[in-house]
Amino acid sequence: MAGFLDSYEWEDWDLAEYALGESLGILPKGGFPVTHNWVVTTDTPMGRLLGKMLRELIDIGYLETDVDDDLRIRRCSNWKLSQ
């Protein structure tokens, strides 16, 4: 999970949400799935916000969903800032 936004490997949606929260300093490092998984696995304001942020990153093409499983996402290998 660490470095998710720097990786091109598929990741489950809830782990990606948590990794985004870690990278923003909102959620503690290493807290998933042990202590803070409830933030992204239940309907919480923070979980909804992180989900929206991931969807925005998908919309601009920075992240992409798996064709076979839309609950898996990864960084898009051909994304360019100019998009």
27 falls within a domain:
yes
**Domains in the chain, number:** 1
Q: Helix and strand tally (H, E) in the chain?
A: 3, 3
- Give the helix ranges, DSSP H, for the chain: 13-23, 38-41, 45-59
This prediction's pTM: 0.82
Cα 9 to Cα 75: distance, rounded to the nearest angstrom: 8
Buried b (16+ CB within 10 A) or exposed e, 3-37: ebeeeeeebebbbbbbbbbbeeeebeeeebeeebe
Give 20-77 pLDDT, tens digit per residue.
988 898 888 887 777 888 888 889 899 999 999 999 999 999 999 988 887 899 998 8
Domain-located, residue 28? yes
Residue 23, domain member (yes or no): yes
Within a domain: 37: yes
Which residue range(s) make up the domain with 15? 4-75
